[in-house]
Amino acid sequence: MHLEVWPGKVYPLGSYWNGKGTNFALFSENATGVELCLFDKDGKEQRLTLTEVDNWVWHCYIPGVAPGQAYGYRVHGPYDPEQGHRFNPNKLLIDPYAKAIDGDVGNGPELFGYSWEDPDEDLSFSEGDSAHLVPKSVVIDETFDWEGDELLQIPFHESIIYEVHVKGFTQLHPDIPEELRGTYAGLAHPASISHLQSLGITAVELMPVHHFLAYPGHLADKGLKNYWGYDSINYFAPYFAYSSDKTPGNQVREFKEMVKALHKAGMEVILDVVYNHTGEGNQNGPTLSFRGIDNACYYQLSPEDRRYYMDFTGCGNTLNVGHPQILKLIMDSLRYWVTDMHVDGFRFDLASALARELFEVDSLASFFNIIHQDPTLADVKLIAEPWDVGEGGYQVGNFPLLWCEWNGKYRDTVRDFWRGEDQTLGEFAYRLTGSSDLYQTNGRSPYASINFITAHDGFTLSDLVSYNEKHNEANGEGNCDGESHNRSWNFGAEGDTDDPHILQLREQQKRNFLVTLMLSQGIPMIVYGDEMERTQKGNNNGYCQDNEISWVNWDFQEDKADLLDFTRQLIFFRRKHPVFRRRKWFQGRPIHGKTISDLGWYNPDGTEMTDEEWNVGYAKAVGMFLNGEEIPRVGPQGQRVMDESFLILFNAHWELIEFQLPTDFNDREWDVVIDTKEPHFIEPGSIVYTADKAVPVTGRSLVVLRRLS
């Protein structure tokens, strides 16, 4: 087929259809030549040599090329791994700016720039053509009727996040048509949205949807799949297999429809993004995109030997965020997902890797500086996973303004407190009140802390109270993968049991975790299915389990319904009471001229905690008073915010403790709202305490009291 090839433009990068034809633009600083490869419906390839190059961008415009056109690139240049160059025109390459990709990467030796059989390994050169194994980039029609949809911009302190896997959440849902299960359309289905709304969550945080390497060889050989998706090979295209519409390019439209439906239901969409590394791995990995386009620019290479990659991620490589063009790639991606796809925020996987200037983690790195001043990103939620696997990579509390963080110290402290570990009480108090020791000194607010007990990585809530050890045999790695120190407790039996006492304690402990989470200052996050007793049978690293191990089982039994109902009540209880979601830090003193402070800590005998008592290692019980009349914030119209006052009695001991009401509150009655030994909220007014009556708190439980006027 004869095609006219015009010079085209340097910008925008990627493929852009203007209604009459398509502009193609690709950055490569060290290439000596670039071929644009167009594929017809039968897979026949036509190669066009690009002759226009400006500012290291190779570009052309082709009249008549329309949405649905499949394409890729072949890039020429030196193959010199010891100098960081791995050009190989025998490898078809995915456009880093492709808005859609049609298919998964296959498996075979042709994907690799070197010959598997050569003793020189990656220093050798492969002449095998990879086009039949590489999915094609697709030109798309970017028009879409949003019908007035806008970002929701729910205030941070009002947020409740639900971490969810697009496929795993809906794959077994009986009320979703089979052809929609496991897809963007399935998540947008009324049955899914009804469940999410009934929970009262304000945002879904989607596990990776950037197109990723789904079947890497080491998993494919075992019959497994990269289920989680933390191996991106593109940062613009939504993963095609999550689309029910398999027409090339239509995954973009289906993703937009999902966002629009969730927004209409009052829920934000946050993306879990993996800008720290790609799915191409180390020097022995496949050549799919970035490596073949310009390896020396896209990746951080070892200064001692540029054959090798700096690996701060544990995944073989680290993206070179210090390079202006790679930084631009990430920023263009972020802006695209906000402006074109209407997502409300991002959670950055292994964010410390993005902060590395050469080897040190620097919170004022170029990446954070450029985000800080970007007007498009000023009103979206930015959440860091504040660690990587490199030296000095654990950076909880050290990220700059505008950023929230997954608070790993919250998770660890709360788990330790409720399993009865010593030396936890003082730190437990910090975590309950927003972790001021981590976030206050650099000007951030309590909502900088994303509080969580469980997440996709690790035990589910049900498994956290059912297993002492990980059980990852299904992953095929001899149970050597995954975290070994889980701070879990099985209450006397590993896994399934018929012992009614153990079962009762496990359910009580789940409620302890959930109540602690929802009544702590900061932003609570729960992981999909925890509210429905989802279990992975002790597997704490389900990254490769695209099956019933990781999917939500919607087959409700009575005990599942109890926890689901309790979770719903608990979330709406938090949303009703602003005293549990303050925008400002506690001051520990009266604010509005009253005699009682905004926050109080009490011993079980009713006396105030002293500095010395916080340091008693064996102490495992404390009372926390939250004064609803002393909230230092105003409403949206400047009105003073008022709430009821609450006393929360925590008992992590193994036996019952009787708490005396503090003498400051002798003149008030206290109504029990929650007692975690019970599977439901307490009926209002059914249990009321006064100063002359001690409050019994069962071992390993908590009680929430509301002050009556």
Residue of 104, 110, 349, 388 with catalytic role: 349
Q: Measured between alpha carbons, how far is 6 from 172 in angstroms, rounded to an integer?
A: 50
Q: In this structure, are residues 22 and 69 in contact, taking their beta carbons and an 8 Å threshold?
A: yes
Long-range contacts of 618-622 (CB under 8 A, 24+ apart): 618/422, 619/425, 620/417, 620/420, 620/424, 620/425, 620/651, 620/652, 620/653, 621/649, 621/650, 621/651, 621/652, 621/653, 621/657, 621/659, 621/697, 622/425, 622/428, 622/429, 622/649, 622/650
- For the chain, helix, strand, coil in percent to 5 are 25, 20, 55
Q: In this structure, are residues 110 and 126 in contact, taking their beta carbons and an 8 Å threshold?
A: yes
Establish how many alpha carbons lie within 13 A of residue 396's alpha carbon, considering only the half-sphere containing its beta carbon: 15
The sheet that has 14-17: what strands, in order across it? 14-17, 21-27, 57-63, 52-54
Q: In this structure, are residues 56 and 106 in contact, taking their beta carbons and an 8 Å threshold?
A: no
Question: What amino acid is encoded at 626 in this protein?
Answer: L
Instruction: Please classify residue 657 by burial: count the beta carbons closer than 10 Å to its beta carbon, then call 0-12 exposed, 13-18 middle and 19+ buried.
Output: buried
Active site residue 385: yes
Residue of 35, 205, 311, 385 with catalytic role: 385
Q: Is 402 helix (H, G, I), strand (E, B) or coil?
A: coil
Question: What amino acid is encoded at 146 in this protein?
Answer: W
Q: In this structure, are residues 668 and 676 in contact, taking their beta carbons and an 8 Å threshold?
A: no
Q: Which are the catalytic amino acids? A: 349, 385
